[in-house]
Amino acid sequence: MTTIIDAVKDNLQMNLDDEPTNPMHVGEVMNTWLYLTIMDEAAIYIQIGLNTTTDDDVKQMLQDSLKQWILRGKDSKSLWKRKGYTCLLRVRSVPNQIQMAFL
């Protein structure tokens, strides 16, 4: 049975190790990208709910949810940066600058 001192010592030894970490597996990258995309989409729906409700309790709940979604998104993006990957941001389009296609 391990003691608390052994557990702390092993944890510190693992954290202080200078050995380079392996890159993320392609499945991990795909799933974190999917998670980040779902969070961005959910934030849009939460904002729609905030703009359409008049109930104060629902507004408070949605504001709390939006804060949590934003924090989780920042956590995911910081994980990607630590691993050396780039996060693509959603492009904001300007409708007047899109050229119309003629058939």
Q: What is the pTM of this model?
A: 0.56
- List, for residues 61-73, the tens digit of each pLDDT value: 999 998 998 888 8
b/e string for 21-37 if b means 16 or more Cβ within 10 A? eeebeeeeeeebeeebe
Cβ-based neighbour number of residue 73 at 10 Å: 17
* Residue that wins the pLDDT comparison between 22 and 57: 57
In a domain, residue 58? The reply is yes
In a domain, residue 87? The reply is no
The pair of three-digit structure tokens given for residue 81, joined into one six-digit string: 């940066």
CA distance linking residue 86 with residue 29, whole number of Å:
11
Domain that holds residue 68: 24-80
List helix spans (H) across the chain. 4-15, 26-52, 56-83
What is the rounded average pLDDT for all residues in the chain? 78
CA distance linking residue 67 with residue 43, whole number of Å:
9
| Number of domains into which the chain is organized | 1
Nearest partner of 36 among 87, 93, 91, judged by Cα: 87
* The residue type at 15: N
